[in-house]
């Protein structure tokens, strides 16, 4: 089942002055995971609630498999919704929680029991039937919430920051688990997240939002490699945006601190989205002041080292390299270095607003 959203608009506030979602259109391909990615306040959760029917749009339409369901009430939409804080029924056991959707559909008892057992084994929590939600860990609650949503065989699965409340390790485990689960169930899934890693790792399609509008939508690699604008570039992969000028076939940034060959007209103003691992650096003594940068700060994180580097013109850029490479260079704080752009997207600058 594919989900299509057309010109969806939702405003909040007494005079409808706060824009939640602003004329958004996108498509979630069938059997795939689509991520709604964006910073907090970007409207991604509102969008998900609009698809579920928990909010009523001011304009626009939501279609599942080509059928307009904008005016269908929540309970008839047959969507599975997993809330950020799980929203398990606290007074019901795990089995009763999972069975709820089937009980209100008046399914037969034997059938319900069978389905509950099936789902519990799917989420790897067989034997937990009699537990209350309060007796489960965060990760277990999340899996029960998923099982409950899947019990009704939903047309679409909607996940609202499903790993938001979990600690880092559980989050990574559950992410992999969700990926395997999706391969088994093949349910079209919409995933809301603010975590770019989560979106890039889990989804086949990413919709990046800001302030209720879509900044860019497409395959994760497409967004990552060809960001449509500075926001996309900095949100995905933490790119630094530098502007420079083309001189003799070379785009020069931060005086001559960074340069790369380009096929652009002499004198064009250009913009580069530079990610921390796009930059190589080499220690230097002396050198042309216009080319020399300085290492201001070193942060070691496991197998990686992050460096804050001040460019010749004073701009700062963040560089990341593997530990072994760092050790080979023998760089220390305060060292002078030369930078080399290994890879980076350089585009002609559209607006001249320096």
Nearest distance from C-beta of residue 52 to other proteins, angstroms: 6
Give the shortest CB-56-to-other proteins separation in angstroms.
13
3-state secondary structure string, the chain? Answer: CCEEEEEEEEEECCCCCEEEEEEEEEEECCCCEEEEECCCCCCHHHHHHHHHCCCCCCEEEEEECCEECCCCCHHHHCEEEECCCCCCCCCCCHHHHHHHHHHHCCCCHHHHHHHHHHHHHHCCCCCCCCCCHHHCCHHHHHHHHHHHHHHCCCCEEEEECCCCCCCHHHHHHHHHHHHHHHHHHCCEEEEEECCHHHHHHHCCEEEEEECCEEEEEECHHHHHHCCCCHHHHHHCCCCEEEEEEEECCEEEECCCCEEEECCCCCCCEEEEEECHHHEEEEECCCCCCCCEEEEEEEEEECCEEEEEEECCCCCEEEEEEEHHHHHHHCCCCCCEEEEEECCCEEEECCCCCC
- Pick the closer one to other proteins by CB: 87 or 117: 87
Q: How far is the CB of 138 from other proteins (least distance, A)?
A: 5
Q: How far is the CB of 83 from other proteins (least distance, A)?
A: 5
Name the minimum Å distance from CB 30 to other proteins: 20
Q: Given the complex with other proteins, which of 121 and 137 has the nearer CB atom?
A: 137
Are residues 145 and 151 in contact, defined by beta-carbon separation less than 8 angstroms? no
Q: How far is the CB of 146 from other proteins (least distance, A)?
A: 12
Q: Which is nearer to other proteins, 52 or 251 (CB)?
A: 52
Q: Tell me whether residue 119 or residue 319 sits nearer to other proteins (CB atom).
A: 119
Closest distance of CB 137 from other proteins, Å: 5
**Residues in contact with other proteins by the rule CB under 8 A:** 14, 52-54, 74-81, 83, 85, 87-91, 100-101, 104-105, 134-138, 141, 148-149, 151-152
Q: Which CB atom, from 100 or from 304, has the smaller least distance to other proteins?
A: 100
Q: Which lies closer to other proteins via its Cβ, residue 155 or residue 210?
A: 155
Comparison of 17 and 134: residue with beta carbon closer to other proteins: 134
């Amino acid at each position: 089942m594919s989900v299509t959203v057309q010109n969806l608009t939702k405003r909040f506030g007494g005079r409808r002055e706060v824009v939640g979602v602003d004329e958004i259109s996108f498509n979630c391909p069938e059997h795939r995971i689509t991520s709604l990615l964006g910073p907090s306040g970007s409207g991604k959760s509102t969008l998900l609630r609009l698809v579920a029917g928990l909010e009523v749009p001011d304009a626009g339409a939501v279609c599942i498999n080509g059928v307009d369901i904008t005016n269908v009430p929540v309970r008839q939409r047959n969507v599975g919704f997993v809330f950020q804080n799980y929203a398990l029924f606290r007074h019901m056991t795990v089995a009763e929680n999972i069975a709820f959707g089937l009980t209100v559909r008046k399914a037969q008892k034997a059938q319900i029991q069978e389905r509950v057992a099936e789902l519990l084994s799917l989420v790897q929590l067989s034997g937990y039937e009699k537990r209350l939600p309060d007796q489960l860990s965060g990760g277990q609650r999340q899996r029960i919430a998923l099982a409950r949503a899947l019990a009704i065989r939903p047309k679409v699965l909607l996940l609202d920051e499903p790993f938001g409340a979990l600690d880092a390790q559980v989050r990574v485990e559950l992410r992999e688990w969700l990926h395997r689960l999706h391969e088994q169930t093949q349910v079209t899934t919409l995933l809301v997240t603010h975590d770019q890693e989560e979106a890039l790792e889990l989804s086949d399609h990413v919709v990046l939002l800001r302030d209720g509008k879509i900044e860019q939508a497409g395959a994760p690699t497409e967004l990552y490699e060809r960001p449509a604008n500075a926001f996309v570039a900095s949100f995905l992969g933490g790119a630094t945006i530098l502007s420079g000028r083309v001189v003799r076939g070379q785009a020069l940034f931060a005086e001559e601190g960074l340069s790369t060959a380009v096929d652009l007209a002499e004198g064009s103003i250009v913009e580069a989205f530079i990610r921390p691992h796009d930059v190589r650096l080499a220690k230097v003594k002396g050198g042309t002041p216009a080319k020399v940068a300085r290492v201001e700060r070193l942060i070691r994180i496991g197998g990686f080292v992050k460096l804050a580097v001040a460019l010749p013109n004073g701009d700062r850029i963040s560089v990341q390299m593997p530990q072994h490479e760092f050790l080979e260079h023998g760089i220390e704080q305060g060292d002078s270095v030369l930078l080399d752009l290994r890879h980076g997207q350089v585009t002609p600058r559209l607006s001249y607003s320096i």
